[in-house]
Amino acid sequence: MKYCHVLCLYPYPSDPVGISIFPPTGLEYVATALKGHVNRVSLIDLRHERRLQSPARMAEFIRRGVDLICVSLNWKAQYRRACDYISQLPSNHTIIVGGREATEHVEDVLERCPNVDAVVRGEGEQTIQELADGRSWDQIQGLSYRQNGRIQHNRNRPLQPIEDILPPDRSLRRNRYVPVYKGIPLWPAEYDMILGSRGCPYRCKFCTFSLNPLGQKRDWVARSPESVVDEIEASKGNMIMFADDNFFLKPAWVERICDLLIERRIDKRYYANARLEVARYPHVLEKAYRAGFRMLLLGIESATDRILEQLGKGFNTRQVRDAFTVLRRFPFYYHAYFIFGNVGEAKQEMMAIADFANELGVHGITLCKLRVDEFTPLRKLVESTPGYWISPQGNVYSKKFDKKRLRRMRMLIRNRFLCRPGQLARSLSALDRCEILTYRQIMRIGFMTPLFLVNYLSHLSRKSVHRLRRRFASQDG
């Protein structure tokens, strides 16, 4: 073996929202792929290893026999901070960086981090195995590296068959994944993330995930239901997030997973992404709830038909309303994603998001600025529309709605959604009913993070406050 001890490093000291919950699943796939190709793998998540957030302390750890360092650079948030940390790692070791952000910004990573030897582009399991085995770098697909003062880009690696990708080995973890804020656990529930399928057959024009940063599109492929449930059963987590782009795409596949969960009496709670088409299969929704599914995350994107057509969603607002007449029959927690700041979108159209979400009966919303990566189909429209531009991070701005105005629009939409009478109380009640968060845990988050109190609990109506007090009194009794 060319390398003996590999360090797989997640270099972000915290999550953008401040609360760390889920493990670095992508890095865990790479760490698992390295088993059998090196003698030892150490997986370190800086969010939970505060002592090693000091580059000097990390250098001490590396000097204890580490000879290969694999770093995951996956998020735009804290990208520069992560690069600064990477650049301080000992340069007398082989340092490889991978992940979505590294793939998008190969040259920038190598410029910011002179000690980095190579960047793995795209899915990295096979690439890192060949590198660890000592294969000549000019023969490794998906690798970019310095050669004679220039950056050499080898050809892209084809997507690997899903059945060849091993699920993460959770024995490599050095800590439990419970919700943590500034190093302090908020409550004891252990969280985990599982990938049952990869890819998506839909072609939404805004989507930055259906295509990887290399422009490769993976159509939907799934693992066997048995392997998915085996992984769930082996996980110590009792709160499981499915990282699938669209977990409910194939109803028969979902049904089999639910049947197995019920047959084996696995008592855990699950969150999953879904499209509105899931409403066509009420029997699947009923079985999913019995199996332990509690939260559905739905990409609705807009409250106007014009914008939905522009985004290529494949449905209109009438179809959204029809779907929710079915969905509301099932007591899931419904979280909706909306995009604002679209091309030609007026303020009234953006504000309509709040009213539409209230009408549908969703319990929570996430508001995302429009962004387009290099291969996003919508990019050409943005580039050809006067008055619009794309930031280096891929965010879309215009003369009418620059960064500052869009930030204010997000606040206005969110507040309008929350301030509707009874909305926040319904949302908190759904969190408690679905066993996602109890009232005590919600209040603990509020007291630990003042921003949460300002943005959310300040919108409670007087009646809602009295209802919360009664709930606490009954729990104390």
pLDDT in tens, 197-244: 988 877 777 775 555 556 666 678 899 999 999 999 999 999 999 999
CA distance 272 to 99: 22
The predicted structure's pLDDT at residue 419: 86
Place of tokens 């629009």: 409
- Both tokens assigned to 73: 């650079």
For residues 429 and 436, is the Cβ–Cβ distance under 8 A? Answer: no
| pLDDT above 70: percentage of residues in the chain | 90
pLDDT above 90 (res 459): no
Poorest-pLDDT segment among 31-40, 173-182, 327-336: 173-182
Phi-psi region of 142 (alpha: psi -120 to 50; beta: other; left: phi over 0): left
Residue 163's pLDDT band, with cuts at 50, 70 and 90, is: confident
- Taking phi over 0 as left and psi of -120 to 50 as alpha, with beta for the rest, 197 belongs to beta
Contact in structure between 342 and 376 (CB atoms under 8 Å):
no
Query: Mean pLDDT over residues 86-115, rounded?
Result: 94
User: How high is the pLDDT of residue 457?
Assistant: 44
Distance from C-alpha of 155 to C-alpha of 137, rounded to nearest angstrom: 12
- pLDDT score at 463: 47
Residue 115: exposure state from Cβ atoms within 10 A (0-12, 13-18, ≥19): middle
Mean pLDDT of 153-162: 88
Q: Which domains does the chain have, with CATH numbers?
A: 5-162 (3.40.50.2300), 189-437 (3.80.30.20), 439-477 (no CATH)
- Given a cut of 90, is residue 283 above it in pLDDT? yes
Average pLDDT over residues 89-96: 94
What does the DSSP 8-state code read for residue 297?
A: E
- pLDDT in the model for residue 217: 62
> Each residue of 284-297: pLDDT tens digit?
999 999 999 999 99
For 79, other C-beta atoms within 10 Å of its C-beta total 20
Please check whether residue 372 is in contact with residue 379, taking contact to mean a CB–CB distance below 8 angstroms: yes
- The model's confidence at residue 46, banded by pLDDT at 50, 70 and 90, is very high
> What is the mean pLDDT of the segment spanning 424-452?
75
Sheet strands (E) in 315-378 = 333-340, 364-369
CA distance to 87, 106, 128, 328, per residue, from 215 (Å): 28, 15, 21, 37
Mean of pLDDT over the chain: 88
pLDDT band of residue 158 (cuts 50, 70, 90) is confident
Mean pLDDT of 455-472: 47
Nearest to 263 by CA among 228, 292, 291, 294: 291
The answer to whether the CB of 372 falls within 8 A of the CB of 311 is no
Dihedral angle of Cα 343, 344, 347, 352, to the nearest 10 degrees? -80
Q: Does 417 have pLDDT greater than 80?
A: yes
Element at 162 (helix H, strand E): none
User: Tokens at residue 94, please?
Assistant: 């082989």
Query: At a CB cut-off of 8 Å and minimum separation 6, what does 314 contact?
Result: 202, 204
**Residue 55 is encoded by which pair of tokens?**
């580059």
Q: Tell me which residue of 204, 217, 37 sits closest to 122, measured CA to CA.
A: 217
Structure tokens at 152: 């050499």
User: What pLDDT is attached to residue 1?
Assistant: 57
State CA 334 to chain mean position distance. 17
Q: Determine the pLDDT at residue 208.
A: 59
- Give me the pLDDT at residue 214, please: 62
The per-residue b/e assignment along 121-133, b for 16 or more CB within 10 angstroms, e otherwise, is bbbbbbbbbbbbe
Instruction: End-to-end CA distance of the chain: give it in Å, rounded.
Output: 62
Q: Secondary structure of the chain: what % helix, strand, coil (to 5)?
A: 40, 20, 40
d(CA 473, CA 262) in angstroms, rounded, equals 35
> Given pLDDT bands bounded at 50, 70 and 90, which one contains residue 76?
confident
Residues 6+ apart with CB under 8 A from 17: none
Distances (CA, A) of 243 to 22, 49, 103, 209, 217: 11, 24, 20, 12, 17
